[in-house]
Structure formats: structure tokens, C-alpha cells
Amino acid sequence: MPDGDIAYSALRIGFVHLMYFTLLPNMKRRQFTAALVGLLCLSSRAYGSGNVFLDYDQAALDQAYDQRNWAPNFAEVIARYRTDSAAARAQFPPRTEHYGPGDETLDIFSPPVTQPGRKLPVMVFVHGGAWRALSKDDASAPAGTFVSNGCLYVALNFSNIPVVRLPEMAKQCQQAILWLYANIERFGGDSNRIFVSGHSSGGHLCAVLLTTDWPSLGAPKDVIKGGVAMSGMYDLYPVMKSSRSSYIKLLGDEMAELSPMRHLDKIRCPVIVVSGDKESPEFKRQAADFATALAGMGMLKQRFILADCNHFEVPEALNNQRSPLSAAVLKMMS
């Protein structure tokens, strides 16, 4: 087992354990310790001489972080994102606002009739696309689920790689939350009921928002009241050992700073963790590790593993307001 991965495993598990062990009641201490021991055992599996992370050689790790290898219909599903989003915008025309220059825009979807002075809960969705593709125009499809149930839905836009680097993408998303906190009541939203969701690379950015030090940015530490992390990457260490490092190009401490698993002490709200049962092994492991850590902290609201669902199909569960996932999210927002 390479020394770097031994250190990664020990630090990943040990940090979380020490951070929370003394804060938990006896029963949760035992559950949390058992879960962390299981994670450490998983992370310490035997290595072959050609492995670069856990039991993956380079080719296998690259494949595990490219979901196209696990979803033969990926092009068809991505095309559906745009057509379903166009239909949602036609039915519920959004208001587009700028929260910064350039690509920093967002679409606000509201119920057709909103009582004056009424403050509705707000769901912000962060689109995926491997940090370098797609936009808010591909993320409108869930709007009907939320506006039909008395909520605002916000499809977030931001610059993608290579226009900006990943740290700047994260900062843009943080600025969007700050803008919404300051302005959403002008659109009938409740600044004290902002929730965040995201899928794939957007699931990663959603988790970054959940682990942001908001007081340092001038917002309450609990500015986000709940999260829905879908098929995300929550520790970038293995990601940066894969071929994705060729375009993400993190420097210095940026990998640690942008790894939500290393900042769990900042989470102040319940989180729903979602993945599909046909995703790649690494995405399944990342979701399981994140959910286990949240459960040990008492912050896991619910865990969904969507049956017969590949990576690209996961966010489509939010398009149906009667799906179990949508029902759980709406219940959390209520």
C-alpha cells in the first residue's frame, strides 16, 4: 500500500473521528466509531504494485471517474436535460438575475400566484457537467416539482473550466448564496429557508456550500437550512489521482480546501445523500463515505440509492414530484 494512501486513509478517518467523538452521546459515539473503523478497513485494502489508489490501477481509476463508462445512454439522458428544462421554462417562465459579472446569473422560478408578503422556501440547484460543461439552461426540469408545491426553485449558473478554475467556481457559487440571502425576499422567497441541491460536479459544489465558513463571508453560519447532495465527489484526493487532474489542476492546499469530507465541522443542517445503483464504484464509495460520516454526526436526513438508475439519470428523480426523493426533499423544506 503506497505511503501516501496510508496517510490519506488515516488522516481522513482520524480527523473526522477526533472532531466529533467528544461531541456525541454514548450511543452515537459507539455507532460513529464502528462506522469509522469500517471505513478505515475499507481504505486499507491490500495493494498490488501497480495500484495508484485503493485497489485501482491507473486505467481502472480513470474509468471509475468517467461515468460514461457506466451509462451507455448518457448522451440521450443529457439531451433530455435540455428538452425537459425548456419545457419547464415554457410552463413556469423564470426571472433571470445577475449575482455577478459574466456567467454569474440565476433563474428564479416562482409559483404562478404568490400572496403579497408571503415568504416561500427556496431550493437552489447546482448543475453538474464534470466542472466544465452544462449550464442553468440544463437544470430547469425540477422547477415544476417545487413551484407546484409552494416553493421557489433557483437554477444556478456560473463559469465552467477552462474559463475559470475550480476554486473560482466555488467562490461564484458562494456569492450566489450570499446574493440570494440578501435579495430573495424581493421575489417572494424566505431568506431564512434557503436549501441547496446539486448533482455530480454540482453535488460536489453543493457539499462545498454546505461546508463553507459562512460567518467569514458575512452570512449566518446556518444560512443554508438543508442540502441534497446527489452523486457528488466529496473528497478530491482520489479524483486528483485520476485523469480528471489533467484539467482540474488544483494547486497547493486547494485540494484539501475544496474537499467537503475534510470540513464536516462546518455543516449546520440536515443533508440528504443520493446516488444511483448503476453508478461507478468510486461514486458509490464517495456517497457511502459521506453518508456514513453525516450519520455519525447526526446530520444525515436520509440516504437514497435509486434503483436501476445510472449517474446521469439520478437528478431526473426530482422532475417527478411524486417520487420518493422529491417527497423527502419537499418534506425537509416544509
Q: Would you say residue 112 lies in a domain? A: yes
Instruction: Indicate the angle between helix axes 281-297 and 26-43, nearest 10 degrees.
Output: 160
Per-residue pLDDT, averaged over 103-126, amounts to: 90
Give the whole-angstrom CA distance, residue 142 versus residue 119: 20
For residues 255 and 251, give the distance between their C-alpha atoms in angstroms, rounded to a whole number: 7
Q: Flag whether pLDDT at 19 surpasses 50.
A: no
Taking the C-alpha atoms of residue 56 and residue 327, their distance in angstroms, rounded to an integer, is 37
The answer as to whether 208 is a domain residue is yes
Cβ contact 154:124 at 8 Å = yes
Domain count, the chain: 2
Distance CA 125, CA 87 (A): 17
57-67 pLDDT tens trace: 999 999 999 99
At residue 151, what are phi and psi to the nearest 5 degrees? Answer: -125, 160
57 within domain boundaries: no
Q: Which among 35, 53, 50, 40 is positioned nearest to 14, based on CA atoms? A: 40
Place 49 in a pLDDT band, splitting at 50, 70 and 90.
low
69, pLDDT greater than 80? yes
Residue 74 sits in the same domain as residue 43: no
Is residue 58 domain-resident? no
Average confidence (pLDDT) over 27-48: 46
Q: How does pLDDT run across 303-320, given as a tens digit for each residue?
A: 999 999 999 999 999 999
| pLDDT score, position 20 | 46
Asked if residue 202 belongs to a domain, the reply is yes
Q: Do 244 and 150 share a structural domain?
A: yes
- When pLDDT is cut at 50, 70 and 90, the band that residue 114 belongs to is low
Q: Does 38 lie in the same domain as 127?
A: no
Asked if residue 116 and residue 175 are part of one domain, the reply reads yes
The span from the CA of 33 to the CA of 296, in Å, is 8
**Taking Cα atoms as reference points, which of 263, 287, 264 lies closest to residue 275?**
287
**What pLDDT is recorded for position 214?**
98
The percentage of the chain sitting over the pLDDT mark of 90, rounded to a whole number, equals 83
pLDDT of 117 strictly over 50: yes
**Of residues 39 and 157, which shows the higher confidence score?**
157
Does some domain include residue 54?
no
Residue 43 pLDDT > 70:
no
Amino acid identity for residue 107 in this structure: D
pLDDT of 116 reads 65
Assign residue 134 a region: left if phi > 0, alpha if psi is -120 to 50, beta otherwise?
left
Regarding whether 78 and 43 lie in a shared domain, the answer is no
Residues 71, 41 share a domain = no
Confidence at residue 21, expressed as pLDDT on a 0 to 100 scale: 47
Q: Do both 244 and 136 map to the same domain? A: yes
**Do 100 and 165 reside in the same domain of the chain?**
yes
Instruction: Find the range with the poorest average confidence among 36-40, 119-123, 293-297.
Output: 36-40
**Alpha carbon distance 333, 120 (integer Å):** 10
Mean pLDDT of 293-308: 98
Q: How many CA atoms within 13 Å lie on the side-chain side of 174?
A: 22
Binned at pLDDT 50, 70 and 90, residue 126 comes out as very high
Least confident of 47-56, 206-215, 271-280: 47-56
Same domain, 117 and 83: yes
Q: List C-alpha distances in Å: 84 to 56, 80, 158, 315.
A: 37, 6, 20, 12
| pLDDT at site 50 | 85
Q: Are residues 242 and 93 in the same domain?
A: yes
15/80 same-domain check:
no
What are the Cα distances from residue 294, in Å, to 34, 46, 157, 178?
14, 27, 28, 25
Specify the CATH number for the domain of residue 298.
Answer: 3.40.50.1820
What percentage of the chain exceeds 70 in pLDDT? 84
Task: Please indicate, yes or no, whether residues 24 and 87 belong to a single structural domain of this protein.
Answer: no
Which long-range contacts does 41-44 make (Cβ < 8 Å, 24+ apart)? 42/285, 43/5, 43/8, 43/9, 43/12, 43/13, 44/1, 44/6, 44/9
Other Cβ atoms less than 10 A from the Cβ of 46: the count is 8
Instruction: Identify the domain containing residue 87 by its residue range.
Output: 67-333
pLDDT score for 23: 45
Whether 35 shows a pLDDT value over 60: the answer reads: no
